[in-house]
Amino acid sequence: MSDDHERHDSDHELRVSKIRDGTVIDHVRGGQALNVLAILGIDGSEGEEVSVGMNVPSDRLARKDIVKVEGRELSQDEVDVLSLIAPDATINIVRNYEVVEKHRVERPEEVTGVLSCPNPGCITTGDEPVSSRFEVLEDGVRCTYCETIVREEIASLIET
Ligand SMILES: [Zn+2]
């Protein structure tokens, strides 16, 4: 990474306020920030301190969103689901204003019990409790049971 790139990136960092302790989710695909918040179960009703930057110019993506969540470090499960809608995202863990951990999200091979199948005939949507399971594809997810493939609006399938 060149110095120019670093400078460029830190300029953009200034667009949203710094946080003291928490998580910065950077390089989210433009327009996905609200879905990221939905995945994290954040709607502001519990007084969560959140900063969102939307459609910020980015080198790596044409436009990116940034989500900063004060006082919360994400679990691996949350990161796994995030990776489905924000495969290029970078997770920065911040403690005392310093980034102490920074890593790209990795798409898991499958996710269990986090998405609900949109197929009403699927065994996982029946009365018998069967945990949903989706295989993660390059461009979407596929139900392991009925093989329904979902490429759009994956966030809307997240089980609550
Ligand atoms: Zn299914």
CATH number assigned to the domain comprising residue 133: 2.30.30.20
Q: What is the mean pLDDT of residues 54-83?
A: 88
Please indicate, yes or no, whether residues 83 and 150 belong to a single structural domain of this protein.
Answer: no
> 150 C-alpha to center of ligand 1: Å?
10
Please indicate, yes or no, whether residues 17 and 95 belong to a single structural domain of this protein.
Answer: yes
pLDDT for 1: 44
Please indicate, yes or no, whether residues 59 and 126 belong to a single structural domain of this protein.
Answer: no
Please indicate, yes or no, whether residues 88 and 11 belong to a single structural domain of this protein.
Answer: yes
The domain tally of the chain equals 2
Q: How far apart are CA 54 and CA 24, in angstroms?
A: 14
Please indicate, yes or no, whether residues 80 and 55 belong to a single structural domain of this protein.
Answer: yes
Please indicate, yes or no, whether residues 34 and 55 belong to a single structural domain of this protein.
Answer: yes
Q: How far apart are CA 81 and CA 21, in angstroms?
A: 22
Please indicate, yes or no, whether residues 78 and 122 belong to a single structural domain of this protein.
Answer: no
> 43 C-alpha to center of ligand 1: Å?
28
> What are the tokens at 70?
């004060």
Name the pLDDT band for 36 (thresholds 50, 70, 90).
Answer: very high
Please indicate, yes or no, whether residues 137 and 98 belong to a single structural domain of this protein.
Answer: no
Give residue 147's Cα distance to chain centre: 24
pLDDT for 6: 45
pLDDT for 160: 65
Domain encompassing residue 121: 110-157
> 139 C-alpha to center of ligand 1: Å?
17
Q: What is the mean pLDDT of residues 6-25?
A: 67
pLDDT for 17: 63
Q: How far apart are CA 88 and CA 104, in angstroms?
A: 7
The domain boundary, picked from 62, 82, 104, lies at 104
Spell out which residues have Cβ within 5 A of ligand 1, the ion: 117, 119, 122, 143, 145-146, 148
Please indicate, yes or no, whether residues 82 and 134 belong to a single structural domain of this protein.
Answer: no
> 116 C-alpha to center of ligand 1: Å?
8
Q: What is the mean pLDDT of residues 126-137?
A: 88
> 152 C-alpha to center of ligand 1: Å?
15
Name the pLDDT band for 5 (thresholds 50, 70, 90).
Answer: very low
Please indicate, yes or no, whether residues 118 and 98 belong to a single structural domain of this protein.
Answer: no
> 84 C-alpha to center of ligand 1: Å?
17
Please indicate, yes or no, whether residues 82 and 137 belong to a single structural domain of this protein.
Answer: no
Name the pLDDT band for 4 (thresholds 50, 70, 90).
Answer: very low
The domain boundary, picked from 83, 104, 125, lies at 104
Name the pLDDT band for 26 (thresholds 50, 70, 90).
Answer: very high
154 φψ region: left (φ > 0), alpha (ψ -120 to 50), beta (else):
alpha
pLDDT for 2: 43
The domain boundary, picked from 104, 128, 147, lies at 104
Number of neighbouring beta carbons within 10 Å of residue 41: 11
Please indicate, yes or no, whether residues 78 and 125 belong to a single structural domain of this protein.
Answer: no
* pLDDT over threshold 60, residue 107: yes
Angle 93-83-44 from CA coordinates, rounded to 5°: 60
- pLDDT: which is higher, 153 or 142: 142
> 131 C-alpha to center of ligand 1: Å?
10
